[in-house]
Amino acid sequence: MNGGSDAAGRDVSIELDVARGFTIASRHSRGRLVRLGPALGRILDNHDYPPVIARLLAEAVTLTALLGSLLKEAGGQLTMQAQTERGIVDLLVCDFRDGVLRGYVRHDPERLAEMPAQPSLFALFGRGYLAITFDMATTGERYQGIVPLEGASLAEAAESYFGQSEQIPSLVRLAIDPGGRLAGGLLLQHLAEGEEGRERIHTRLDHPEWEHVHALGVTVSDAELVDPTLSAETLIWRLFHDEGEVRLTAPVQLSQGCRCDPEHFRDVIGRFPADERAAMADADGVIGVDCEFCSSHYRIGLDEFA
């Protein structure tokens, strides 16, 4: 939590780059609330994205923070990937590990320029799929679900993922402020009785408790989600103060970061035969490697493999 001031110069409490979990035991539901600020700005600043693509990535990073914060073990990773064959956006990738976020979008600028100012999700992706992967650190197990990329937004696509792949009724709300530098998200999910807190949960077919929680969750506004002066505790109380006990979990601090490693790149390149390495190099005998996530550029000389 950081200090700041409003337009009138008054001190305000600013809550950014934090994920907060909660459970509503009487309704067999759990939730996550995320707010992003500086971390999101650093991710967007790694590329000179046009506004519509920057907004798409901001939504994707917020969704990744919501889903990644479900992981309970240190070292676990959540990866979200949206991919198409002939879309204006042909690849979107974000991941989360121990509170560290990164993401990037690959798109066709020329085709995007022909689109209206606010193209639909289908206009950007066409027919594609959404893959969400949970990698567990302790067991080494991997859980992956893949669903068609459908709906009017990434939030709807994520709801479809949980409904089809995980059989978990879910509500996802994502909001980006007009300036594109603040983002907020809410995730609500129904838990089967007696399974509170498990990673993978299958629910009953009838769940009136969930209908009640869902009805409350949809009342949250975009302005509330991106208001950094509105604490997570206050917003959760606004939504669910009539539900008796609402248990809050410890906040998860979020940040931007990248795991690109020149030593790893050298190791990978070193596995190629010498003639193939030579073909990769420029006239100066240097192989250039770019990190799509953070836009870092590494120069690896052929002489390093002698």
Q: Give all domains of the chain, ordered by start, each with its CATH number.
A: 14-256 (3.55.30.10), 262-305 (3.90.1280.10)
String of DSSP letters for 138-172: TT--EEEEEEE--SSSHHHHHHHHIIIII---EEE
- Radius of gyration over every alpha carbon of the chain, rounded to an integer in angstroms: 21
Return the structure tokens found at 93. Answer: 């990738």
| Rounded Cα gap, residues 271 and 52, in angstroms | 40
Return the structure tokens found at 38. Answer: 């500086």
Task: For the chain, 306 residues long, give each residue's pLDDT as a single digit of tens.
Answer: 444 443 444 333 468 999 999 999 888 899 999 999 999 999 999 999 999 999 999 999 999 999 999 888 888 999 999 988 788 999 999 999 999 999 999 999 999 999 888 888 888 998 889 999 999 888 888 888 888 888 889 999 999 888 887 788 899 999 999 999 999 999 999 986 544 444 443 444 456 788 999 999 999 999 999 998 899 999 999 999 988 889 999 999 999 998 888 887 888 888 888 888 889 888 888 888 888 888 888 888 888 887
- Cβ distance 80 to 149 under 8 Å? no
For residue 97, give the nearest of 138, 57, 65, 61 by alpha carbon: 65
